[in-house]
Amino acid sequence: MESGRASRYAGRMDAHVVPFGIHLRRWRERRRMTQTDLAAAAESSTRHLSCLETGKAQPSRDMVIRLAEYLDIPLRDRNTLLLAAGFAPAFSERSLDGLEAAKAAIETLLRAHHPLPALAVDRHWNVVLSNAALPQLYEGCSEALLRKPVNAVRLMLHPEGMGPRIVNFAAWRAYTVIMLRQQLDAHGDPVIKQLLAEVVSYPVPDASEEPRAFEGAERLVTPFKVATRFGVASFLNTITVFGTPNDVTLAELALEMLFPADQETIAIVRSMVEESELRARRKLLA
């Protein structure tokens, strides 16, 4: 019965829980929608939506789900919205180990991309799976940054990480800042807000290329250029997410893959692989 919904989940809520109406208004404003726009999309009235936001009316479970869909709210926050309205969460949140089929699919993709780097990251850019390819790229990085959980954004840009060796640091940081700002605007995640502030504070290395007008392929995509013992490697990155996920963990996973951006990088990768294979053979014979 609807009347028993609040008491049913009272044990999961306390006096500090933000009311449903406040959650709803924040998401509506984040999506830059008026009450009239959202009411029309959700097949409701502006008056009813106003009452929901002020707490004068309580939504049905169907209304909460419908509003969350139109506002494109992430699954984790949809659960929060349901709980604030007195309903049970709709989406499970299991560990990656518990998502056997998805984990197997990710590991297959990571192996298939070897010897090029590929990694799976969570919503805060912490690496959860990796194919550990091209270890030469991470030479000189602080051991602290390489301890689990490794944060991919921090490892790339931190002054004690790959930052000083990123040839186009200013351009790559600008790309990262845009990406994090978009993520913050979409989700309002305080951890991303903190990571964004940290990235903005990183100093530009003296050896970094000066920002300039994009030329050639760089007009289409910003490459990741990093200096190595073998020369300057230039990579293009792609980010892939699962379609139509119904689990919070899976919805927040992204797969990032690096691809050579030019012939020089292909040669550098080949040299790195040959060196790694030679080391492995020597280790077996030792």
Fold of 96-285: Beta-Lactamase (3.30.450)
Please, are residues 121 and 127 in contact by the beta-carbon 8 Å criterion?
A: yes
Domain boundaries, the chain: 2-84, 96-285
Q: Average pLDDT per run of 10 along the chain, which is 286 residues long?
A: 43 63 95 94 93 95 95 95 96 92 94 95 96 93 95 97 96 94 91 97 82 55 94 95 92 96 96 93 85
- Spell out the residues 6+ positions from residue 149 whose beta carbon is closer than 8 angstroms to its own: 126, 127, 128
CA distance 46 to 256: 42
Per-residue pLDDT, 283: 85
Return the CATH class of domain 2-84: mainly alpha
Global pTM value: 0.85
Per-residue pLDDT, 221: 81
Among 188, 197, 271, which Cα is nearest to 229's? 271
Among 109, 101, 159, which Cα is nearest to 129's? 109
